[in-house]
Structure 1
Amino acid sequence: MRISNYKKLFLIGIAFLAFYIFLVFRLWGYEQYVQDAPIKNLSDAFWYSIVTLTTVGYGDIVPASEEGRIIGYIFLFLSIGIYGILIGQFSTVISNINENNKIGMHGTSFQNHIVVIGWTQFGKTVIDQLIRAGRKVAVVTKNRDNIDLLHELYDKKQVFILYSDYENFELLDKANIEHCSSVFINLENDTDKLVYILNIKKHFENLQFVVTLENANLKQTFINAGVKYAISKNEITSRLLASYMFEPDVAQYSEEILAYPIEETDYDIKQFRILKGNPFIKQEYDKSFYELKKMYNVILIGLVREENGQKTVHKNPQDNFIIQEGDFLMMIMNRAAESKIRKVFSIKEGI
């Protein structure tokens, strides 16, 4: 509600209060000259007015004069109007609260979540995968027509929806963007994405951006602009398509393993961090490889280690490579094995 509307309501309230007090004093003024009138003082006049306006109507006090009864009629009609206004205002307030909640104006407490700027069918496939992986998502859309659809598609415990102009960076705080793990810029074209990233970085310096590119030649440009991961959709599609042409079984397996598993027997590549107390700390890589396969039917395929502030991927390192606390182990596993690994590693997958 705008400030001008509050001011208008305040002035109406003051005017009604003044009119009400005027009527009460006039009622007392008329009744005090009537012998044996039930309204004997100002307190009785206020009591009668309140009982009448609230439609309680005890009937213990009534006006005795003709003028007093006319004022009583005014109180009766006022009570009808007041209740109508109150019911209308209450309905409006409830409606506004529901609408603001629907479009995300109350904000979210999500943390370490993914913020998606822009809603498209491609964005939906990405969000579906994130939800299956147990990640929470905040979707920002400037199209009001998308709101109802998004609420139908997703549970509010998993997906927060914010209706906002993308350039309204202050409103992005509603999506708790400063506490997200990454921001997926899902706008229409590469130019819009690049300009938007340069603008949003002026307001949020420490965000980690992910974009998909139509033009693979712009990848380095986006990296230089501060994007963490710039992925060319055409490049990925062309590689997979070529693979289907000369090694279709490998291509099919690759496609399946990139998607989040649904069935217990579905396989996926997952990444688990080595925390303090993990049984594989200070153990040789090859020995861990055999133990994971034998005990949990998990295939260790690589290790990620942070070195000089940068993450380095060691793809199936040589013998005598020692696993350290803070490393990430990359493994191929199905859902049945994942539940066992979570217990051993005492952590969920991901970074």
Structure 2
Amino acid sequence: MVQHLFQQFLRWPLLLRILLIALSVNLLFGIFITFVEPKTFPTLFDGIWWAIITTSTVGYGDFSPTSLGGRIMAIALIFVGVGFISTYFITLAKDAVKTQSAYLEGKATYSGKGHIIIIGWNERSREVISQLMSFQQQCTIILIDESLKENPYKDYHVHFVKGTPFKDDVLRKANLSGASKVIITADQNKDETTADMSSVLTLLAIKGNMPTLYTVVEILTDEQIANAERAGADEIIQTNKQTSYVMMNSIVSQGMSKAILKLLNNLKGNNLRLLPVSTEWVNLSFEDVSILLLKNNILLLGIKRGENTDVNPPLHVKVELEDELLVIST
């Protein structure tokens, strides 16, 4: 029985074991000193108080043994107790530094819920994190990347996990099961095809663990769009195609890229959004709803009906209750 309890004790965290030993030493010496010198230490609390003050090296001097036996106990307490107390605080400091290093180097596991996971470190993910932090102050972001050596953010809202994103142990460190959304960005250190294959593989790993988790993936090549859809992507962003559209419009209409960039800058945060249809708007025309929204400085751009989004539809199109309105608000 004693051997079993000792083995269980050895499995406890080192910090807890040292603390219990130190407390036990103080308690025992505090009890013994009341028997050795009952006049100097009239109560049990006085003895324990003296033991703690002695091992902590504070030494108030309000209680001190006067007999030979009491002083021998004090010497033993100093040699034994101070050693354990010092070891406890050294171990405590060491664990604090180790924990801090683990968070900084991406080795710590996140245990919260409702967070957003962003995979890949690049200018796109940097901008997304910046926007999320300014738009949602209490939003916790988990950044997964295998190339970073340490967390680029010191803010506690950004938790860094270092590792290959399609590995289950890395996803568990990011607490995938508790996440609200996942954004997968293309790896800038790989060629486009390889980056897309890596993104699709990461998507498969995420959907394999959490099929219902809303996932947005960046795809660079047209050939991998179908694979991303098969893997279960909820949204696919084709950054190369969007960039080519801007470049083409700049060729046809000089200065268009500046106008588009200005428009995008005005869409930071939640200015561009999908607005649910209010019951009083049902069966009104696109034109009528647009006029109503303009009174509140909301610009109506289009209608999302199911999986299809119609931008600038005919003015006579009727709005249905199940629709969502694509709007820009101030």
Kindly state the Cα deviation for residue 231 of structure 1 after the two structures are TM-superposed: 3.3
Distance between the aligned counterparts of 2:204 and 2:257, measured in 1? Answer: 37
Kindly state the Cα deviation for residue 125 of structure 1 after the two structures are TM-superposed: 3.2
Distance between the aligned counterparts of 1:298 and 1:12, measured in 2? Answer: 64
Deviations 1:292-321 (A, max 9, x none): 44x355543311123xxxx22233333543
Query: Is residue 197 of structure 2 the alignment partner of residue 201 of structure 1?
Result: no
Which secondary structure does the structure 1 equivalent of 2:310 belong to? strand
Distance between the aligned counterparts of 1:316 and 1:207, measured in 2? Answer: 31
- Which residue in 2 is equivalent to 1:141? 145
- Aligned partners of 2:283 and 2:318 also within 8 Å: yes
Q: How does 1:152-231 map to 2 (within 5 A)?
A: 156=156, 159-165=157-163, 166=165, 167=167, 168=169, 169-173=171-175, 178-187=178-187, 188=190, 189-231=195-237
- Which residue in 1 is equivalent to 2:67? 64
Structure 1 residues 249 and 51: alpha-carbon distance in aligned structure 2, compared to 1, 3 A threshold: closer
Kindly state the Cα deviation for residue 329 of structure 1 after the two structures are TM-superposed: 1.6
Q: How does 1:1-351 map to 2 (within 5 A)?
A: 6=12, 8=14, 38=39, 46=47, 49=51, 52-53=54-55, 55-60=58-63, 62-65=65-68, 67-95=69-97, 98-99=100-101, 105-110=109-114, 114-131=116-133, 134=136, 136=139, 137-143=141-147, 145-147=149-151, 149-151=152-154, 156=156, 159-165=157-163, 166=165, 167=167, 168=169, 169-173=171-175, 178-187=178-187, 188=190, 189-261=195-267, 270-276=272-278, 280-293=281-294, 295-296=295-296, 298-306=298-306, 311-331=307-327, 333=328, 338-339=329-330
Distance between the aligned counterparts of 2:86 and 2:314, measured in 1? Answer: 80
Distance between the aligned counterparts of 1:74 and 1:210, measured in 2? Answer: 65
- Aligned partners of 2:40 and 2:63 also within 8 Å: no
Which secondary structure does the structure 2 equivalent of 1:145 belong to? coil
Distance between the aligned counterparts of 2:25 and 2:173, measured in 1? Answer: 42
Kindly state the Cα deviation for residue 131 of structure 1 after the two structures are TM-superposed: 4.9
Structure 1 residues 4 and 97: alpha-carbon distance in aligned structure 2, compared to 1, 3 A threshold: same
- Aligned partners of 2:184 and 2:199 also within 8 Å: no
Structure 1 residues 27 and 254: alpha-carbon distance in aligned structure 2, compared to 1, 3 A threshold: closer
How many residue pairs match? The answer is 306
- Aligned partners of 2:301 and 2:312 also within 8 Å: yes
Structure 1 residues 125 and 4: alpha-carbon distance in aligned structure 2, compared to 1, 3 A threshold: farther
Distance between the aligned counterparts of 2:314 and 2:81, measured in 1? Answer: 86
Which secondary structure does the structure 1 equivalent of 2:314 belong to? coil
Which secondary structure does the structure 2 equivalent of 1:222 belong to? helix
TM-score of the superposed pair, with normalisation by structure 2: 0.71
TM-score of the superposed pair, with normalisation by structure 1: 0.67
Structure 1 unaligned residues grouped into runs of 5+ = 263-267, 340-351
Distance between the aligned counterparts of 2:53 and 2:81, measured in 1? Answer: 10
Distance between the aligned counterparts of 1:129 and 1:23, measured in 2? Answer: 59
Structure 1 residues 98 and 5: alpha-carbon distance in aligned structure 2, compared to 1, 3 A threshold: farther
Deviations 1:33-56 (A, max 9, x none): xxxx95799969955645543545
Distance between the aligned counterparts of 1:127 and 1:269, measured in 2? Answer: 17
Larger-Rg structure: 1
Kindly state the Cα deviation for residue 323 of structure 1 after the two structures are TM-superposed: 2.0
Deviations 1:276-297 (A, max 9, x none): 46x534422122234444x355
Mean Cα deviation higher: 181-190 or 45-54: 45-54
Distance between the aligned counterparts of 1:95 and 1:85, measured in 2? Answer: 15
Distance between the aligned counterparts of 2:300 and 2:19, measured in 1? Answer: 72
Kindly state the Cα deviation for residue 200 of structure 1 after the two structures are TM-superposed: 2.4
Distance between the aligned counterparts of 1:250 and 1:195, measured in 2? Answer: 36
Deviations 1:216-274 (A, max 9, x none): 22211221221233333332222222221121244433343234446xxxxx9723322
Identity of aligned residues (%): 14
Which secondary structure does the structure 1 equivalent of 2:321 belong to? coil
Structure 1 residues 71 and 302: alpha-carbon distance in aligned structure 2, compared to 1, 3 A threshold: same
Kindly state the Cα deviation for residue 59 of structure 1 after the two structures are TM-superposed: 5.0
Return the letter of the residue paired with 2:125: G
